[in-house]
Amino acid sequence: MGQETILNVLKCMPDDLWEITEIGDDLETFNIRLLRAVTTKDWERALFYLHRVKFFSAGGLQDADFLETLSLCPPGQFFFPMLEVLHWYPEPVEAFHHLLLFLTPSIKDITLGGIQTISHLSILSTLPDRCPALIKVAIYIHGVGDLALPTISTLVPRLQRLESLVVPGLDEIAFAHIARLPCLKSLRLNFESPWQLPGEVSGFEALTELIGPTLESSAALIAMVPNRPFLSITVRPHSLPPTDIMSRQFYSAVGKHCAHSSLREITVCGTYPNPDIPSDQIEMYSVGLDILSPLLSFPNLVRVDLVHPTGFDLDDIAVLRIARAWPRVELVWLKALNSTELRSRVTLEGLYAFARFCPSLRRLAVTFDATVVPQRRDSANKERVAQSCLTSLDVALSHVTHPHQTAQFLSTIFPRLAIISTSYEELLRSQPPDEIDELDLEPEVVSCHSLWKQVEELLLQC
């Protein structure tokens, strides 16, 4: 039994005990006010359910006084005595210390977010004693910078059963410890400030999932564990946009050091403080087939989600090689970070390669040139292959001039295609609602969106 909100527990208590006020329209945040003193009898009905809760996610609270009340009159030593999974990221930040009310010895999986002060860091020193069964630990730091590294590095060596770890960084001793762990399957490094790998470390015998903060550090980690049968590799850069040189080093490391038969998913998708790149530097950040080519030796890829600052410099031959290399792929995402990208040399004829060679592909995102529409029969006058799985196509800033003919061709090769997304929609989603009217979009972005929405409507008629 899990609880995404504590409201369900409170509703088991007398109606005259609490006043609950929901905030906003999302019904996910709320204020709670105590109307009278809590008595032992008030807990009688709730106790039956408290012992059954195994998962609790603490978010949405906007009133620290409520947790203060629970801490003064808990129904037992712990609010959920049989809890196994705890996600703790309360608001406001002043409520963080009430974590102690939920740290039961039975917890196996804990996520701690919102650590913003040295006091919050201090609570980590008692974590292994309070929760000796921990096998999954995720710690997210905001605002304490380098002060977190010594504390977390002291905590981690006391965790002997780890299967999954998310931390900002580790010193050499702590890093050597996790390398020796026999069951560590997933590792995510998520530091805010620059951090270097602490020397030569070998091990990580069970590691199958790696999540890194930069292409450089991820490449270094992969090189440290050669021939590792990774199932998933994820990089989420959030500092400087990676150049083509950084990208080349990363994909080369993946191709050289990862077992080619095992990898199922690869993701490179970051957010950057200043993503706008001058037009004369676009080529410095774009990715061509020469950079991506190491990935073509992984035939069992199911998910390829790659977003680079200015996108991909590909043509029809490159797309043909990509489609042939990934016969089992279900998602292909090859996108630019924003609307600043090279004019694509991929055509609708090139897009047809995904219909021919990727029978399981369900979602595709790629920029292409649809201004020239091929015949619905191929050059040999044969019927084109129809791929029946693809339902969603993100065209980004693809150019199109003939919506009706384009819809007919797409419906021929992807008969189940129903959803077409554009860069315009993505830009709108990224803006706060009160700033959408002030968004200054290039005319090309708006016109491409309008034409592709016509294509989407016409698909229903084909």
The predicted structure's pLDDT at residue 131: 96
Whether 40 has a pLDDT exceeding 80, the answer reads yes
Q: d(Cα 365, Cα 378) in Å, to the nearest integer?
A: 23
Q: What torsion, rounded to 10 degrees, do the Cα atoms 303, 308, 311, 316 define?
A: -40
* Average pLDDT for 229-243: 88
* Average pLDDT for 165-190: 91
Most confident range, picked from 17-21, 164-168, 272-276? 164-168
**Helices and strands counted in the chain (H then E):** 15, 21
Angstrom CA distances, 23 to 11, 28, 60, stand at 17, 8, 9
- Of 93-102, 105-114, 225-234, 282-291, the least confident: 93-102
Angstrom CA distances, 97 to 89, 111, 121, 122, 207, stand at 11, 14, 10, 10, 33
Q: What torsion, rounded to 10 degrees, do the Cα atoms 80, 114, 141, 179 define?
A: 20
Greater confidence, 60 or 241? 241
Q: Give the torsion sign (CA, 216, 138, 94, 28).
A: positive
Cα of first residue to Cα of last residue in the chain, in angstroms, is: 47
* Residue carrying the six token digits 């410890």: 177
Q: d(Cα 77, Cα 381) in Å, to the nearest integer?
A: 76
* Average pLDDT for 84-103: 84
Residue 301: is it exposed, middle or buried by C-beta count within 10 angstroms (0-12/13-18/19+)?
buried
Residue 430 DSSP symbol: T
pLDDT band at 170 (very low <50, low <70, confident <90, very high): confident
Greater confidence, 140 or 452? 452
The predicted structure's pLDDT at residue 25: 54
* Average pLDDT for 205-227: 88
pLDDT band at 33 (very low <50, low <70, confident <90, very high): confident
Share the mean pLDDT of the chain: 86
The predicted structure's pLDDT at residue 399: 93
Cβ 92 vs Cβ 118: under 8 Å: no
Whether 461 has a pLDDT exceeding 80, the answer reads yes
Token representation of residue 404: 């009706």
* Residue carrying the six token digits 């929760």: 131
Whether 208 has a pLDDT exceeding 80, the answer reads yes
Q: d(Cα 106, Cα 128) in Å, to the nearest integer?
A: 12
The predicted structure's pLDDT at residue 330: 98
The predicted structure's pLDDT at residue 441: 66
pLDDT band at 436 (very low <50, low <70, confident <90, very high): low
The predicted structure's pLDDT at residue 126: 92
Whether 343 has a pLDDT exceeding 90, the answer reads no
Other CB atoms within 10 Å distance of the CB of residue 181: 21
Whether 181 has a pLDDT exceeding 80, the answer reads yes
* Average pLDDT for 210-230: 87
- Of 41-55, 292-306, 344-358, 389-403, the least confident: 41-55
Comparing CA positions, the residue from 204, 212, 280, 208 lying closest to residue 249 is: 212
The predicted structure's pLDDT at residue 35: 84
pLDDT band at 238 (very low <50, low <70, confident <90, very high): confident
What residues are paired with 164 via a beta bridge? 136, 186
pLDDT band at 23 (very low <50, low <70, confident <90, very high): low
pTM metric for this prediction: 0.86
Cβ 174 vs Cβ 162: under 8 Å: no
Whether 69 has a pLDDT exceeding 80, the answer reads no
pLDDT band at 191 (very low <50, low <70, confident <90, very high): low
What does the pLDDT look like over 103-149, one tens digit per residue? 999 999 999 987 888 888 888 999 999 999 999 999 988 877 678 88
